[in-house]
């Protein structure tokens, strides 16, 4: 067991305070108890409800008057016999409580005389600076693919025993995908998710995987910084972007099955005017490659407390690594990482954290960043090597506008064959995909109010009364096109 070995090495290093952050408290306690038996040291467990109790002996009773944290630490400090002390969920009693912090520090400073090992076991713990130099942190290892497969087979066997020997239905390919989607989960969470897939109908099928990812992401809550996009668009629902589609198709196999000869794709930046389909294209990348899509709200990273913004980003990137293989969508990235002297350097620190992760990551996480103004982005982010390519998503031409009309009519249960698509495409010159969609939506509202069937004239009327962004912001669009001409690859 690698966890047991790591813990033993830490204790042999004579570190007095050990911090273990995990949601798997029973597993951690079992591991520590085994080490106590191996080292012939008594193991004590404390909780606010039970007090301090020896757990390596049967029928042991709790020590008297040790429910309160300060009384427990005083007891440990005054005990002469060396032992291992597990303090469960002790983190609230270290915040704004100098007495408890001081008691822990005195126990740590007397380690050479007492030889106690105090283990702070919690789901999360901020170490006070007074005792940080006396602490070592460790994380429980996550299960490997082999262990996950064994776990799934155990749950399948249990289901079979409860259902008169009936076998769980699946195939090797779906089973491999299930194991891949369970990566990054703890033993207990992975077992619970696998059980949930099996008990419903006694089968592991491809349709179970989206629900599994939903459940997995809900366990890894990010409080609004990172969202899981459940409905990734099919690339057939994106009009145009043929150049981008070819580029992605060429790299699909290298992303899923790296063979050492080809570098795994890193990511792309989609530059273009608002409403041109950048966000839809980002969703479609995940749909085309068949992986989860995570959307990072770059603006939500910012926190008023110093250091919290960077921590939010590190936690979000760690979760992306956990959910790999996946697509990480950084929408309107310039809003969070643009250089700004008014934020006390927060944007620069965020950029440094992101660049370090991009350079060092080993997991298959493909970045899709979208931007409306690349001139606000730092050059370190957009240079070759950080991202594979910069694509410019221009306004659609007539042929693509025709496809977009067909897509949105069909999506709203209208037969595109009943409309003059070429006429509509010519009339909507300068319209973005979003503006074409809105023209159809507005036409349908008008027809519903007047109890009419939608036809060409209704859509043409909405087109005529709309002032597209290419007209309202013509100068800015011309400037953007001029900048992108020799610096980017056309997505269409």
Q: Is the pLDDT of residue 7 over 50?
A: yes
Q: Is the pLDDT of residue 304 over 50?
A: no
Place of tokens 């590190």: 314
Which pLDDT band holds residue 155 (cuts at 50, 70, 90)?
very high
- Answer whether 365's CB lies under 8 Å from 266's CB: no
Indicate the helix (H) or strand (E) that contains 21: strand 17-21
pLDDT per position as a tens digit, 43-80: 999 999 989 999 988 767 767 778 899 999 999 999 88
CA distance 181 to 291: 9
Q: Is 86 helix (H, G, I), strand (E, B) or coil?
A: strand
Decide the pairing of beta strands 267-272 and 135-138. Answer: unpaired
Model pLDDT, residue 283? 83
Q: Which of 46-50, 51-55, 229-233, 396-400 has the lowest mean pLDDT?
A: 229-233
Alpha-helix runs per DSSP H in 413-473: 421-427, 433-450, 456-464, 469-472
Which pLDDT band holds residue 172 (cuts at 50, 70, 90)?
confident
Higher pLDDT, 425 or 333: 425
Render the burial of 24-61: b for 16+ CB within 10 Å, e for the rest: bbeebbebbbebbeeeebbbbbbbeeebbbbbbeeeee
* Count of CB atoms situated within 10 Å of the CB of 206: 13
CA distance 278 to 269: 10
Burial of 12 (0-12, 13-18, 19+ CB in 10 A): exposed
pLDDT per position as a tens digit, 444-482: 999 999 999 999 999 999 999 999 988 888 888 888 888
Q: Is 227 helix (H, G, I), strand (E, B) or coil?
A: strand
Higher pLDDT, 311 or 433: 433
CA distance 97 to 109: 19
pLDDT per position as a tens digit, 251-276: 988 888 877 777 889 999 998 877 77
Alpha-helix runs per DSSP H in 257-345: 278-289, 308-323, 334-337
List all residues 6 or more positions away from 404 whose beta carbon is below 8 Å from its beta carbon.
239, 240, 396, 433, 436, 437
Q: Angle at the Cα of 40 (from 34 to 44), degrees rounded to 5?
A: 65
Q: Is 166 helix (H, G, I), strand (E, B) or coil?
A: coil
Radius of gyration from C-alpha coordinates of the chain: 29
Model pLDDT, residue 257? 80
CA distance 329 to 269: 10
Place of tokens 């790999």: 324
Region 374-396: mean pLDDT is 84
Q: Is the pLDDT of residue 440 over 90?
A: yes
Q: Which two tokens stand for residue 106?
A: 């005195």
Higher pLDDT, 336 or 491: 491
Omega before residue 325 within 30° of 0, cis: yes
Q: What is the mean pLDDT of the chain?
A: 86
CA distance 490 to 476: 18
C-alpha torsion angle, residues 331, 337, 340, 341 (rounded to 10): 150
pLDDT per position as a tens digit, 107-127: 999 999 988 999 999 988 889
pTM: 0.71
Q: What is the length of the chain?
A: 492
Region 189-211: mean pLDDT is 87
How far from chain centre, in Å, is Cα 285? 16
CA distance 249 to 322: 25
Which pLDDT band holds residue 223 (cuts at 50, 70, 90)?
low
Place of tokens 């067991």: 1
Percent share of the chain, pLDDT over 70: 93
Higher pLDDT, 227 or 355: 355
Region 482-487: mean pLDDT is 84
Fill in the DSSP letter of residue 232.
P
Model pLDDT, residue 409? 94
Residue 33's φ and ψ, nearest 5 degrees, are -65, -40
- Answer whether 217's CB lies under 8 Å from 228's CB: yes
CA distance 271 to 450: 40
Model pLDDT, residue 338? 64
Model pLDDT, residue 221? 63
CA distance 77 to 67: 15
Q: Which of 244-248, 307-311, 466-470 has the lowest mean pLDDT?
A: 307-311
């Amino acid at each position: 067991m690698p966890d047991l070995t790591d813990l033993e090495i830490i204790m042999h290093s004579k570190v007095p305070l050990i911090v273990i952050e995990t949601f798997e408290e029973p597993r951690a306690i079992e591991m520590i108890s085994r080490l106590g038996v191996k080292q012939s040291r008594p193991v004590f467990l404390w909780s606010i409800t039970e007090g301090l109790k020896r757990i390596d002996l049967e029928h042991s009773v709790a020590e008297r008057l040790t429910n309160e944290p300060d009384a427990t630490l005083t007891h440990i400090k005054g005990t002469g016999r060396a032992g291992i002390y597990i303090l469960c969920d002790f983190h609230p009693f270290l915040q704004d409580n100098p007495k408890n912090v001081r008691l822990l520090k005195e126990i740590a400073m007397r380690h050479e005389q007492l030889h106690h090992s105090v283990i702070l076991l919690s789901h999360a713990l901020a170490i006070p600076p007074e005792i940080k130099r006396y602490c070592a942190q460790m994380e429980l290892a996550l299960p490997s693919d082999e262990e996950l497969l064994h776990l799934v087979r155990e749950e399948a066997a249990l289901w079979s025993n409860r259902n008169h020997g009936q076998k769980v239905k699946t195939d090797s390919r779906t089973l491999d995908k299930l194991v891949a989607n369970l990566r990054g989960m703890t033993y207990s969470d992975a077992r619970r998710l696998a059980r949930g897939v099996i008990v419903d109908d006694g089968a592991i099928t491809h349709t179970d995987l989206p629900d599994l990812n939903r459940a997995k992401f809900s366990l890894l809550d990010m409080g609004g910084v990172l969202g899981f996009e459940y409905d990734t668009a099919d690339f057939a629902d994106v009009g145009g972007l043929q150049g981008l589609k070819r580029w992605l198709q060429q790299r699909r196999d290298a992303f899923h099955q790296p063979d050492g000869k080809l570098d795994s794709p890193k990511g792309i930046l989609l530059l273009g005017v608002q409403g041109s389909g950048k966000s839809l294209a980002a969703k479609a990348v995940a749909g085309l490659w068949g992986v989860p899509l995570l959307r990072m709200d770059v603006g939500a990273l910012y926190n008023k407390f110093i250091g919290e913004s960077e921590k939010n980003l590190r936690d979000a990137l760690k979760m992306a690594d956990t959910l790999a293989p996946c697509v990480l969508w950084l929408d309107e990235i310039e809003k969070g990482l643009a250089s700004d002297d008014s934020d006390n350097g927060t944007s620069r620190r965020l950029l440094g954290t992101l660049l370090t992760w991009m350079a060092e990551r080993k997991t298959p996480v493909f970045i899709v960043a979208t931007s409306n103004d690349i001139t606000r982005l730092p050059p370190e982010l957009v240079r070759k090597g950080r991202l594979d390519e910069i694509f410019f998503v221009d306004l659609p031409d007539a042929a693509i506008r025709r496809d977009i009309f067909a897509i949105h009519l069909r999506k709203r249960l209208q037969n595109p064959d009943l409309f003059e698509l070429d006429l509509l495409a010519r009339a909507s010159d300068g319209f973005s995909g979003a503006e074409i969609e809105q023209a159809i939506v507005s036409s349908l509202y008008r027809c519903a109010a007047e109890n009419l069937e939608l036809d060409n004239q209704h859509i043409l009327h909405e087109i005529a009364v709309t002032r597209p962004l290419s007209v309202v912001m013509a100068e800015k669009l011309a400037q953007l096109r001029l900048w992108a001409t020799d610096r980017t690859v056309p997505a269409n």
